[in-house]
Amino acid sequence: MCGRYSLTKGIDEISAGLGVLPLELQPRYNIAPTQEAPVVLHDHQRQIKLLRWGLAPAWAKDESIAFKTINARAESVATTASFREAFKLRRCLILADGFYEWRKQVRVKLPVRFTLKNEEVFGFGGLWETWRKHDGTELGTFTIITTDANELTKTVHDRMPVIIPPESYDQWLDPKLNTLEPLQTLLRPFPAEAMKCYEVDPVVNSVANDSPHCVRPFQAPQGELSF
């Protein structure tokens, strides 16, 4: 599962590579479900939009379903009712520069941040939907696809978000591509050797905290296990 991530850096470079205009964004150190975050998608044209994390399918009776759809499993995304149409037609990249998982310690769960070794901004493989509220207004939502953990992330958790390699961005975002096999080949664990991780300050445990403290390296108190 992926339940928290960060986007602390500017997105000018990745935006240029994707051929989209960047948004003016404040650094985000602790993005959580139900919050808005920048997503690259194709809606008549390729663009960046702020969507809410937690996918609400168009057929959903109310938006509360989004609490159950923050993630979509790679193994079943093509067949699950909430995701299968979006997987064919509405794929997106969720911009990030790190994500968090929690490791059980003696008395607490300690957060661990995973990034690329080069610390650059990357794109999670995701899906997006537009849900119409009862008053007629529209709500844009997204979900992050997860897959088996690689050798690095499995030291903390058995799942990890799908990270789409830059050379596959165009393929993933192509609205005309709806053949499942080439898409599903992208839903694999990102190479562990291209990533790194470190324990961070437990302030990230609370979604109310969204500051540089959330990505600050943390040293466990004496007597507790660490990496």
Catalytic residue set: 2, 101
User: How many other CB atoms are found less than 10 A from the CB of residue 225?
Assistant: 10
Neighbours of 72 (CB within 10 A): 26
Residue 121 contacts residue 11 (beta carbons within 8 Å): yes
Cα dist. 224→144, 152, 215, 219 in Å? 33, 21, 20, 10
Phi-psi region of 107 (alpha: psi -120 to 50; beta: other; left: phi over 0): alpha
Phi/psi class of residue 44: alpha, beta or left (left: φ > 0; alpha: ψ in -120 to 50)? left
Other beta carbons within 10 angstroms of residue 136's beta carbon come to 6
How far apart (Å, rounded) are the C-alpha atoms in residues 149 and 99? 13
Q: Going by C-beta distance under 8 Å and a sequence separation of 6 or more, which residues neighbour residue 119?
A: 9, 97
